[in-house]
Amino acid sequence: MSAYEILRIALRYTFAFGKGHLSTFLSSLSTLGLILAITLLITVLSVMNGFDKEMRERILSLVPHISVQGYDGVPDWRSQAERMAEHPDVRSVRPFVAFDALFLRGGDIETTRGLGLDASPAAAREGLLSALSPAALARFRDQADGLVLGAGVAERLGATVGDRLTLIVPSLDGGGAASAARFESVVLSAVLETGTELDQSTAVLHLARAAELAGLDGGVSGLQVGIRDIFDVARVGWELVQNLPPGYYSRNWMQSHGNLYAAIQLSRDLVSILLFSIIAVAAFNVVSSLVLVVFDKQGDIAILRTLGASAGNIAWVFVLQGALIGLVGVALGCLCGVLLSLAVPELVAGLESLLDYRFLSTDVYPVSFLPVDVLPGDVLLVGGVAFAMCVLAAIYPALRAAKLAPALILHQEAS
């Protein structure tokens, strides 16, 4: 038999050509199972990739990669910032002031961790202030008593842009004992809405105003450092502290958000293993389907053998049938998976609007929307593994078909 004839028979057994209704039905079931498994795997992987991307590109672009702080603050922060900026892996250095804050508006009260940040154009290109619109940033910059609140904090206070709030900052005396708190009136210049967990805890004042409230007398609490490789923070942080005088320590994003990032990676790996097992089940379905096709077509196989087809030719018919099932299933599954992945954010948003209920809230989740990132590498990997499984699954039925004795089969059918 020629290769063309083998392929034509495999196509006849796989698709609705001719009278092979049972073989076509079984092939269709196998293909459908493969399509569903691949679609589900690509969609879930795209969602997990989306969380990973939002973590790296959204959240980690707003929080400092490394925070270098002094036990008594950093009084000479400009000289220390210049020293840190000389490190080859450091991209930016920005001063900050951290303090405990309590906000009052009417009968509403909220506690949060306040931050004092430099609002100059150069410093505002990175960090929290980079998430503000140009108009909101300019309004905050022009108001000496301006305040930026996260959307969640502002919502709980019922505050809108232009409202005046009372800020209470506890203070400590020289011995570390609590002393009289400071009361300040601030105006809400902008609401920070990043769609991340930062919206639930952000309160930003001007650097000088925050330093005064924190009693640092022109100093700062520490320096926020942005580096080129965000996964190299441990080494860079240690080297920065070693180049500073005693009394400094560093913290990095892995200590504050590392558990969340690790949980996302672990969830992605576990879900991948689970869904690849679903593809394996779909491939096992190919084995059972082709075995039934072999029994259904044993009369045809016997006739082909008597006409001169070799055992190898018969085996190739069923290997090609498994390959065709895999090819069609992979092509349609990958296409459906990519389309469903791209449609998932809109579908979830529409369902939230219909039900008037938010599935993702930054009170619990790191972002308030369902992110998706379709990676071509994942699509190729899933498709390649699924196709290989289908071809391997076809080997056993092919060998079984090749071992059929044509004389015995024809004798049984004649009797």
What's the DSSP call for residue 367? B
pLDDT of residue 9: 72
pLDDT of residue 1: 61
Checking if the pLDDT of 292 tops 60, the result is yes
Element (H, E) at 410: helix 406-414
- Phi then psi for residue 366, to 5 deg, are -70, -25
Tell me the per-residue pLDDT of 308-357, one tens digit each, with 9 for 90 and over. 777 778 888 888 888 888 888 899 999 999 999 999 888 888 888 888 77
- Phi then psi for residue 356, to 5 deg, are 55, 50
Checking if the pLDDT of 277 tops 60, the result is yes
177: Cα within 13 Å, side-chain hemisphere: 2
pTM recorded for the entire structure: 0.71
In the chain, the amino acid numbered 191 is V
The per-residue pLDDT of the chain, averaged, comes to 82
For CA atoms 187, 214, 75, 96, the dihedral sign is negative
Mean pLDDT of 361-368: 68
Residue linked to tokens 């924190």: 214
Residue linked to tokens 């969640």: 152
pLDDT of residue 8: 73
- Confidence label for 18 from pLDDT (cuts 50, 70 and 90): very low
- Confidence label for 101 from pLDDT (cuts 50, 70 and 90): confident
Whether 212 and 167 have beta carbons less than 8 Å apart is answered as: no
Among residues of the chain, what percentage have pLDDT more than 70?
89
Query: Phi/psi zone of residue 106: left (φ > 0), alpha (ψ -120 to 50 degrees), beta?
Result: left
Helix (H, G, I), strand (E, B) or coil at 214: coil
Burial of residue 202 (number of CB atoms within 10 Å: 0-12, 13-18, 19+): buried
Least confident of 49-58, 59-68, 128-137, 301-310: 301-310
Q: Torsion over CA of 62, 66, 68 and 71, rounded to 10 degrees?
A: 90
Choose between 11 and 182: higher pLDDT.
182
Element (H, E) at 226: strand 220-227
Whether 57 and 351 have beta carbons less than 8 Å apart is answered as: no
CA distance 127 to 268: 28
pLDDT of residue 195: 81
Residue linked to tokens 């569903």: 36
